[in-house]
């Protein structure tokens, strides 16, 4: 695996979009009932996205959480290699969508999203999308932090810039309040 694939670096503008989508649920209508994903399903989603983005911190953390949820080391290893053969059949569509979402940097094909909706319904899809959005934010932040640490150690990643690293690592402290304030004003209008 190349360094670029191992640590997918996004720019500050894309990171802002990921944070905004997470906090605003990407404009998705609120579900009629809240559906909670099982721990193992949630961790499979986290690992499916992380294997695309290559965040070392998220890989470690979610592999550990997946083990706690009862998943085997072999299944975790397969998920981190993009292999879904060991996955429960009723979760495959969601994991393939999660991988597609990450590969397209949050711009999935509408037909692929439609398949997700048809498979799981609006309420379940809402929870799946929230998990995907959360790990996209985590992966992007983790990879920028990793790149910044490498830069400070004298080994910068070739696919990263200091501006994007600082903007993503510290931008979250600005982005969250700005997005929440924007949401407040939208609700009043």
Confidence (pLDDT) at 6: 66
DSSP letter string over 11-59?
Answer: -HHHHHHHHHHHHHGGGPPPPSS--PPPHHHHHHHHHHHHHHH--HHHH
Three-state SS for 117? Answer: helix
**Distance, CA of 107 to CA of 112 (rounded, Å):** 11
Q: What is the pLDDT of residues 67-97, one digit of tens each?
A: 999 999 999 999 999 999 989 999 999 999 9
Q: Report mean pLDDT in 10-residue bins for the chain, 189 residues.
A: 63 96 87 90 97 96 96 95 93 97 96 97 95 97 97 95 97 94 82
- Rounded to two decimals, the pTM is 0.92
Residue 62 vs residues 2, 65, 120, 141: alpha-carbon distances, Å: 22, 5, 23, 15
Residue 57 vs residues 18, 28, 93, 124, 143: alpha-carbon distances, Å: 18, 29, 26, 27, 8
């Amino acid at each position: 695996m190349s360094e670029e694939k191992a640590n997918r670096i996004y720019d500050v503008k894309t990171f802002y979009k990921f944070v905004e989508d997470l906090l605003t649920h990407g404009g998705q209508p609120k579900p009629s009932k809240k559906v909670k994903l099982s721990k193992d399903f949630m961790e499979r989603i986290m690992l499916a996205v992380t294997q695309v983005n290559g965040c070392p911190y998220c890989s470690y953390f979610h592999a550990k959480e997946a083990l706690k949820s009862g998943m085997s080391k072999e299944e975790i290893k397969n998920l981190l290699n993009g292999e879904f053969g060991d996955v429960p059949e009723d979760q495959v569509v969601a994991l393939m969508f999660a991988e597609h979402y990450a590969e397209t940097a949050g711009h999935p094909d509408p037909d692929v999203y439609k398949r997700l909706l048809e498979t799981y319904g609006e309420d379940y899809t809402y929870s799946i999308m929230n998990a995907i959005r959360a790990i996209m934010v985590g992966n992007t932040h983790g990879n920028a932090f990793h790149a910044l640490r490498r830069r400070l150690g004298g080994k910068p990643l070739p696919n990263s810039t200091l501006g994007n690293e600082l903007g993503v690592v510290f931008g979250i402290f600005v982005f969250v309040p700005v997005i929440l304030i924007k949401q407040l004003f939208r609700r009043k209008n």
